[in-house]
Amino acid sequence: MAHLAEVVRLVRAGQRFLVSGHANPDGDALGSMLATLHGLRALGKDVVAYDHDPAPRRLAFLPGADAVVTDPKLLDGPFDATFVHDCGDLKLLGDRFPPPSVTGRIVVLDHHATARDFGDLSLRDVKAAAVGIIVARLLDALGVPLSPAIAECLWCSLASDTGWFRYASTDLETMRLATACVEAGAVPWDFARRSEETQPAARLKLMARVFDSLEIVGTTAFLTLSRATLAQSGATTAEAEGLVGYARGLDGIEVGVMFYEKSDGVRVSLRSKGDVDVGAVAELFGGGGHKAAAGCFIAGTLADGRARILQALGQTA
Ligand SMILES: [Mn+2]
């Protein structure tokens, strides 16, 4: 565990930095990495963003999102250091992450509980509601004020990982930073309108089919998206994200599970109301996350993956 002061020294000593986050970046990974990008640029640094995948379409308007590099061959290394956001496991960076000769030292900014920390320096706080909070602490230590661009990116990080300021992780620091973001120019409705109120119709059609798959076993609710349903709906994989919360949100349900059938197995997304540690369940299958929100991948058939998750939940409940 690094001290903030060490990371501040590293920033002051360097000039060229790379920022990155986990593959298929969500609002926290993307918002926090872009906030760091704008913050370091405010200090006169040269900063490039890399991710295995581009920004999801609904977040493509975030300042800097259009310039995220997805081909590591286009990275003009070496960099003095690389800031990796919202990632507790190297393998979640994808299979093209550039080597140390390009990245320089790795600084991990993260809030996942993990035994697989890969940072040369890590600012890890499992209590932080979003990685944007850790970025804000770093920018504050660097003396960088919140610009409108930084504020919008941090707002994205906070709103995404707190479920619009309602999950258990939402605390005073979250709300204080949210206030500071609005003071600096973030407009909550503007962000909501652009990110959430622009859903493609195919997503709603897909949701109808996914909700029709609902199964309840005890206090667990399951939703399933088969490959056939995805193909028939005309929606993309990205448009099928974020539905697991509907399963958790049911009366009498403690855990919501969403299965995404893939060609080689099943991706599992888990959400808990708090009594069941779904992060521990995901860990059993080589995945991870938080106590209340986690994910993993299970090779094999949908039916097999479903049976194994049910069994694991039974053991940990
Ligand atoms: Mn996060």
Residue by residue, DSSP assigns 206-258 as HHHHHHHT-EEETTEEEEEE-HHHHHHHT--TGGGTT-HHHHHTSTT-SEEEE
> CATH 3.90.1640.10 spans which residues of the chain?
4-196
Q: How is residue 7 written in tokens?
A: 């990371």
pLDDT at 240: 87
> CATH 3.10.310.30 spans which residues of the chain?
201-316
Give the domain 201-316 fold: Diaminopimelate Epimerase; Chain A, domain 1 (3.10.310)
Give the domain 4-196 fold: inorganic pyrophosphatase (n-terminal core) (3.90.1640)
Q: How is residue 141 written in tokens?
A: 């230590």
pLDDT at 293: 94
pLDDT at 317: 46
Task: Compute the distance from residue 130 Cα to the ligand 1 centre, in Å.
Answer: 5
Task: Compute the distance from residue 228 Cα to the ligand 1 centre, in Å.
Answer: 30
pLDDT digit string (tens) for 154-203?
999 999 999 999 999 999 999 999 999 999 999 999 999 999 999 889 99
Above 80 in pLDDT, residue 316? Answer: no
Task: Compute the distance from residue 26 Cα to the ligand 1 centre, in Å.
Answer: 8
Task: Compute the distance from residue 252 Cα to the ligand 1 centre, in Å.
Answer: 27
Task: Compute the distance from residue 28 Cα to the ligand 1 centre, in Å.
Answer: 5
Task: Compute the distance from residue 122 Cα to the ligand 1 centre, in Å.
Answer: 15
Task: Compute the distance from residue 86 Cα to the ligand 1 centre, in Å.
Answer: 5
pLDDT digit string (tens) for 41-90?
999 999 999 999 999 989 999 999 999 999 999 999 899 999 999 999 99
pTM value surpassing 0.75: yes
Residues 247-265: what's their mean pLDDT? 97
Task: Compute the distance from residue 52 Cα to the ligand 1 centre, in Å.
Answer: 17
